[in-house]
Amino acid sequence: MAVLNAIATLLAMITFLGIVWWAFSRGRADANREAAMLPFALPDEPVMNKKEGINHE
């Protein structure tokens, strides 16, 4: 049973390190930069209708 635990741990560690390597690779730099700017690219919040006091969009 200890061998199976060791194999599962090793596979999980290799998978984790592979994902980290992929995420920080040079080929992902442009995609990461674009994703980092997404919160700032959203449209502004709608203006409330002064007559009704609530925006019903």
Q: How does the average pLDDT of the chain come out, rounded?
A: 86
The whole-model pTM stands at: 0.57
| DSSP H stretches of helix in 1-57 | 2-23, 29-36, 38-41
pLDDT tens digits, 31-56: 999 999 988 887 776 766 666 555 55
Structure token digits, residue 53 = 């006091």
Residue 22's closest CA among 7, 10, 14, 8? 14
